[in-house]
Amino acid sequence: MLNTPSAPPQTLVWLPVDHRFLGEGGDQTPFLVLGDKYARAVKRGAQAQPVLFPLADAGQIPALLQMVDGVMLTGSPSNVHPSHFDQDVTDPSLPLDPERDALTLALVRACVASGVPLLGICRGFQEINVALGGSLEQTVHARAGQLDHRARAGVSVNEAYGPAHEVRFVPGSAFAQWAGGDRSQVNSLHGQGIDRLAKGLRALGHAPDGLVEALEIEGAQTFAYAVQWHPEWRCQENPFYRAIFESFGQACRRRQAARLVT
């Protein structure tokens, strides 16, 4: 009997979910949510299998990280609760997600300590900064001299995720290599942004108003980058965005190779 070769093991990337109430009026019910675009970017761009642990808590992080090859922190309509950087809520109408905060802030620190590849996008970018001791500006558009980085009202989804402003990258940085130059146009759909950059983070890209748009975790054992914009949007059609995910996927496969032999 011929032996059928076994399928190669899947590279697994953990995407934490959002906790939201969905529905109309008083009929809202709790849901655990992941945006399709994030899962598809991991699947197609990073060539990895997105996985969910929907009710994971911080105490389970060490065991769950042993099962995966990378972590991607997604964007979300919700904001990091400002109590995590010693501020009060500026706009009570904006959504918060304390359950996600309780997991992801601890998850960032665990990824850094364990050498797990980490990619942060929008809220995930902000989570990394807060988790490592930084703070956020809750209303970037209200600060003198700042651009309005929020999504444009009354436009189609394609237009909302279209180019909005330039980001300039540190020459020779990973982002400059991925972009094929020291600047690139990116989309912009966020109201909050970095105020005080956490110790141990290095800003690698800035918007025209000086806002940090790309960063790395200095001294990280592996891929540890984050962006304020949304490279997951149709990443296969944008060479720069695709390069980010390809590099993330390569780092995840290196971890997978090491994980499977231990």
What are the residue numbers of the active site? 122, 230, 232
Cα gap 16→30, rounded to integer Å: 16
Contact 185, 165 (CB under 8 A): yes
Q: How many residues does the chain have?
A: 262
Contact 76, 97 (CB under 8 A): yes
Cα gap 229→245, rounded to integer Å: 14
Burial 9-26 (b: 16+ CB within 10 A, else e): eebbbbbbbbbbeeeeee
Cα gap 241→178, rounded to integer Å: 8
Among 223, 202, 222, which residue's Cα sits nearest to residue 214? 202
What is the 3 state secondary structure string of 17-72? CEEEEECCHHHCEEEEECCHHHHHHHHHHCCCEEECCCCCCHHHHHHHHCCCCEEE
Cα gap 38→73, rounded to integer Å: 9
Cα gap 157→2, rounded to integer Å: 52
Residue showing tokens 């390809």: 246
